[in-house]
Structures are given as C-alpha cells and as structure tokens.
Chain A
Amino acid sequence: MDYIRYIEKTHEYYRGQGYDKTYNYAYNKDIPFVPLKKPLSECRVTLVSTASFLLLDEEGLPLEEPRMLGTNELEVFTEPSDWSVNRILSTSEDHDRYQTDMNDVNAFFPTTRMQEFLKEGIFGALSKNYYRALPNYSHRKTTEVDGPEILRQCLEDNVDVALLTPV
C-alpha cells in the first residue's frame, strides 16, 4: 500500500532542519480492549477530536480564544453534540494545506453525519457533549490528565462508544 510513513518522514524532516532531537511518537505494545457490549442502536455515542476549531455565536463571532499546547492545566474542551456545524470555524494548522482547506467540518469532525445516524436509528443516543483535546507533545499529560478527564465526563454521561478523529 502506498501511504505516507509520518514517523519516518517527521524524523527525516527535522534532522534535515538541523534538529538533533526528533519528536517522540508514542509506542505501546499492550493494547486495552473492551468489546462492544450491546447493539449500536442501543449505544450512547460520543465524538472526540484533536481538531482545532472555535465555536461561533449566532452572529458568527468566536465564543472562545485560540488555544495551544504546552501548559499544565487541564486542556479538555467540550462542544454540545447538537451544536450546528455552521457555527464551527476550523483553526487547524495541522493539515496538509496544499490538499485540503478544512472548510468542510464534517471531513474531520463528523457532527452532521452523527446527527443523521441518530435520526436513522443507527445510534441509540448521542452524548450530551463532544470532546476536544489539544494535540499534546506530552504523552504523560494526555495519559494522566486530559485522557482521564474525558473518561470521567463520558462515564458521568453514560457513554458506551467513542469515535475519535485525530487532526
């Protein structure tokens, strides 16, 4: 299969730029696994993404500030699952800008498709909120702080299934 090996590519690229320290991608051998416990049509489903975007008010003005990785504060942000896709503005810098422009939110944060699946009875319910985490260079922060917070809120909301879309 002809696809981009990003780990190799990133290492090559930064070495070429003169950096001796390259980005340390996560590596794990053991993988946690929990089989689906009931039919999807009875499941409560959420969406989790590292897509960067701003929620807009009725007039199309941003309701929040752009955010960036690097602090020790909790960096988990929610978005109501019934939020209109027209009030989401992508601020991503982490896409291939020569190929795609991020104007169609559903290509990376498929909120309209999920609303369709709910209406069609494919899902039992949607979670109250969807979740956004920042792409974080700290594996520890993601594993010990942001990840557990998303889990806590999901369990509180009785979520059964999560769809994840990294950007």
Chain B
Amino acid sequence: MSLVARVLEAGGISTVTYTNGRDIAASAGNPRQIFLNYPLGNPAGRPHDPENQRSVLRAGLKLLEDAERPGIIVDLPYTWSDSRVWIEKFMTDEQPFISEDAEAKRQDLLKKAREQKARQIH
C-alpha cells in the first residue's frame, strides 16, 4: 500500500496512510504514516467505535496539514487491550496467521491466477 502512496505523492496527490504495521510502511518509504497499535485489520480505528475512528482519521488530517517533510510517523496513543497477549501470540503455532481453510482458498486462487497468467503468455 505504501508503494501506491508513493506513486500518488510523486504524481501530485498528498497522501496519508493509516497503518497497523509500523515497520512495513516505514521500510517502504511512506510519505506520511499514522500508526495505530492495534491488531492487523483495524487501520482506521477500533471496530464499532465511531468516536475512536473519527479521532484516528482526524490525526491523519492534522498530519496532512502540518507535515513539512516526508517520512513523518505519528504514533497514536490508543491501546488495543490492557493485556499484551495479542502481541505475543501473533503468528505463533498456537495462533497461526492464516487458517488452513484460508490457505486452501488462497492456493486455489493462486493456481487460477497462474493458469490465467500462462494463458496470457501463450
């Protein structure tokens, strides 16, 4: 996603990217990043909490208004949980990132995509 932000920015459009993965966007050279330290899947705020979502979005608008140089990361103060279990268990054997069902679906779609690609080449 940060690569798209870079293309837009280079084309004259100001961007702000809301992330749950601080290091990924930073590594890619994202123009303006709002980091929300929530589990993957909630870049725009806490589910079913419109006020939190509004605050998150507003932080990005402020960054758009204030930023005078590229690469600024704003770390938002909101926390997901009092427990850090979600940080510890992520991508472990106990809590694998991709479920078996999802992996099977992914492989099936990938196979279809490869077949499509092969047809384009021939």
A residues with CB within 8 A of B:
1-10, 13, 25-37, 40, 48-50, 66-73, 92-104, 106-110, 112-114, 116-117, 122, 133, 135, 139, 142-143, 146-148, 150-151, 154-155, 159-167
Contact = CB atoms under 8 A, between A and B. Distances in A.
The main secondary structure of chain A at its interface with chain B is: loop
Contacts, number: 252
Contacts of A135: 1
A2 B84 contact: yes
Given A1-B75, A40-B61, A70 B113 contact: yes
Contact of B68 (A35, A102, A164): A35
Nearest to B56: A110
Given A7-B23, A25-B24, A33-B69, A164 B39 contact: no
Interface residues of B, number: 78
A65 to B, nearest CB: 10
Given A6-B23, A117-B57, A147-B3, 12 more contacts: A6-B21, A9-B90, A13-B97, A33-B71, A36-B67, A66-B105, A68-B106, A70-B113, A93-B105, A96-B39, A122-B61, A150-B4
Contacts of B38: 100
Contact of B27 (A25, A73, A96, A117): A25
A97 B89 CA distance: 12
